[in-house]
Amino acid sequence: MLSCSVVLVEIHFHLCLWYVADTHRYAISPDLVGFVCVTSALETDADLQYLVTGGKLTKVKSNSWKKKRFFQLQDDGETIWHESQKALKRNNTFSINDVESVRRGRQSEVLQKFTDSSMEDLCFSIIFKGKRNTLDLVASSPEDAKHWVTGLEKLIASMQNLNTQQKSEHWIISRMRRADKNRDNVMTLKEVKHFLHDINIEVNDMYAAKLFEACDISKSGALEGEEIKHFYELLTAREEIEVIYGKYALTAGQMSASNLLDFLQKEQREAVSLDYALMLIEKYEPDSAAKQKKQMSRDGFLRYLTSAEGTVFNPAHKEVYQDMRQPLNNYFISSSHNTYLMEDQLKGPSSTEAYIRALTKGCRCVELDCWDGPNGEPLIYHGHTLTSKVLFKDVIKAIRDYAFRVSPSEVIHVHSSCLHQTSEYPVILSLENHCSVEQQKVMAKHMTSILGTALLTRPLGKKMPTTFPGPEELKGRILVKGKRLNKLDVVFEDNSSVDVDSVSEEDESAEAKEGEQKAKAKKSKIKLAKELSDLVVYCKSVHFNSFEHSKEKQAFYEMASFKESKAKQLAEHSAEFVHHNIDKLSRIYPAGSRTDSSNYNPVQMWNSGCQIVALNFQTPCKQMDLNQGRFLPNGKCGYILKPHFMRIPDFNFDACNLTSGRWLRKKNLHIMVISAQQLPKLNKDKVSSIVDPFVRVEIHGVTADKSSAQTAHINNNGFNPMWNKTFVFAINVPELAIVRFVVEDYDPASANDFIGQYTLPFTSIQNGYRHIPLLTKCGNVIPSAGLFVHIMALDD
């Protein structure tokens, strides 16, 4: 066993590797590509060496639960082991792949509550992907804390910088290492069987023995060195890639630049030049001899296919590419409901962490449900329920810190890819105000003092506007949505309004009360403080009466909120709703009866032009997949420009009743689901639990475009199942269509289990042979898994 660990660092060639314990090195296969594990980095990097040596940290859970535990980086360079006093806890580890971020200082609620401010430089938190609890730790000195945070950030950066093929190789090799139970750096037949089960392949004993025998050239009864390399090559051979490559590799068995250009133009349908093909060879070809000849080998071709250029998502859409200077109402805006909740809305915890997670996912409209609290401090929680409470001022601080980007002072960054940057575009605070006038004034004070110049307190410009500014003009600004005592034009007048007056409650607030007290004859009223009223600029909440009333009486900055049932009724008159949203903002929110924090389908609301379609971000579901897919392009900035026919009054677009119009750009979408790679096991505790995967392709959009189709399931193979199944979908309105790829584990006796999914707009899909990453229920990338498809969108 190695006396010190090995750290993954990215370099520009691929390799196959295996432990050689006595030399502290890996055997390198020069004709493969991937990443390299080097021990030399440990000898020169103090932070990484510190993690290898390990040390004691105080784990904090509460005021009374603070215990020292030993933490250490393991031999694989990605697993952290930690001491545990629980007798039944076998797996005291976590993977760097499961870490979302590392925050230095007292940035979590636990550390803020249960540690002293003098310990700021000793504290740090490890934030995990999904629903795993944050790990809050205290080091013995500021230097120790810095070593841990910086070292962990370096490991995260090294894993993030691996491309898809490198992640695949790393995943396989880490499983090989895990199968080597006695760490003798050879593989027996028993270990090979264990390895095959671990990577999600069910094979009978005869096949396993035959595969083992074919690789055991020395007849020693164990695989080592070149025999392991041969075993690896047999295992990872991609027959479908070989066929494609062979068709175009017409220059002495390899692809010349002109051969590659032919492939790009014919198969990938890309209008590119020979210079582009040469660029791909220079970028992805690992063999220097082939590169010198301006040729691409099989390894280079696979590396290209698993790169950003080769994936299904158009790389040009990874950055902000849309016009961001149009009025705010011309955009779909990523929006959260009950943002403070981590779970359900009856007894789930409220937390500032929920706001941080939503904002870092690109959410640009968050909800603050505000109630009177003790000691004159307003609270945020779900009223009349058992949800926990969080201070209003703590939420505002979290919004300040995470609305646009994490401050370098809060996180030690070692690589640009580690910078947890969110969108630069405006954030809207949707206030549900249940507070007394006194605590409303406190709310206003906290927002102005904590948010400072980021808080928008008056319209842009020197005269009364007639339309919204654009996201570009509002970069870095925070807007308040709520009730206002007067018209916006009084900002430009000398006279002042009254200090306090009554206004009708928000529709959502009134609905919550009606649920308890039954229907009321008239809207309830609340007192509104001028200090809070004055912070509402472009998003004044008003009650909706009718489309006609809104057109005649409603100013552009006055917006209505609609419960999902009301919005669905209005969406039945889609053309009118679209017209309403051409110059007004609309917010849609889930019904109060969704006590489990489930979600409605947002697509129908987007089809009606509604901009702020609020969902429960804390609930993994298909609806959140669609939301993540809708806001995947345009740099994940949380703003997507609505189609032109939903922004211009002259159009009469109706998503329910399509007629001739510029929105009808009919396409036939041909999708061949070819294969999948390295699907995760669903029951990791059972060695024999192998998935039976199938793929479903779903089309979401206007009513006429809704469709789905699925492959047959493949028995006992989650490692490299192949389907070669083709589907054809008719798309009428491509600008509103969303495509969702879902992989599930077939179960004849019960509901199928979710494995992974990927969702993106039709307009962001690339044609040709493409790899598709797969995401977990919580929307995180599964490092090793993916689909391989062929896509062709043809004019009808």
Annotated binding site for substrate: 59-86, 481, 483, 561, 587
328 within 8 A of 335, measured Cβ to Cβ = no
Q: Which residues are annotated as a binding site?
A: 59-86, 338, 367, 369, 432, 481, 483, 561, 587, 690, 692, 716, 745-747
3-state DSSP call for residue 755? Answer: strand
Count of beta carbons in the 10 Å neighbourhood of residue 91: 9
Secondary structure E strands in 515-628: 525-529, 536-541, 558-563, 586-589, 612-615
Tokens of 374: 């003790």
398 within 8 A of 352, measured Cβ to Cβ = yes
575 within 8 A of 547, measured Cβ to Cβ = no
3-state DSSP call for residue 571? Answer: helix
Tokens of 178: 């895990």
Residue 609's φ and ψ, nearest 5 degrees, are 85, 5
* CA dist., res. 740 & res. 717, Å (int): 22
Residue with tokens 């440990």: 42
Tokens of 115: 């540690």
Residue 71's φ and ψ, nearest 5 degrees, are -120, 145
Q: Identify the active-site residue in 147, 194, 317, 382.
A: 382
Q: Please measure the distance between the N-terminal and C-terminal CA atoms of the chain and give it in whole angstroms.
A: 62
Q: Which residues are annotated as a binding site for Ca(2+)?
A: 338, 367, 369, 432, 690, 692, 716, 745-747
Count of beta carbons in the 10 Å neighbourhood of residue 275: 9
Dihedral angle over CA of 428, 634, 761, 403, nearest 10: -30
Whether 434 is catalytic: no
Cα 291 to Cα 16, 286, 436, distances in angstroms: 20, 8, 71
Starting at the edge strand found earlier in the chain, the sheet holding 55-60 runs 93-95, 79-82, 66-73, 55-60, 135-138, 123-128, 99-104
Over the range 333-367, which residues count as b (16 or more CB within 10 Å of their CB) and which as e?
bbbbbbbbbbbbbeebbbbbbbbbbbbbbbbbbbb
Residue 506's φ and ψ, nearest 5 degrees, are -55, 150
640 within 8 A of 332, measured Cβ to Cβ = yes
Helices (H) and strands (E) counted in the chain, each on its own, are 23, 34
CA atoms within 13 A on the CB side of 398: 27
625 within 8 A of 649, measured Cβ to Cβ = no
* CA dist., res. 419 & res. 362, Å (int): 14
Q: What angle do CA 9, 783, 203 make, to 5 degrees?
A: 115
Query: Which residues neighbour 89 within 8 Å (Cβ) at sequence distance 6 or greater?
Result: none
Whether 337 is catalytic: yes
Q: Identify the active-site residue in 170, 337, 580, 790.
A: 337
Which residues, listed in sequence order, are joined to residue 794 by a DSSP beta bridge?
668
Q: Are strands 427-433 and 478-482 parallel, antiparallel or unpaired?
A: parallel
* CA dist., res. 12 & res. 284, Å (int): 9
DSSP letters spanning 631-683: TSSGGG-SEEEPPGGGT-TT----SSS--SSTT---EEEEEEEEEEE-PPPS-
List, by residue number, the catalytic residues: 337, 382
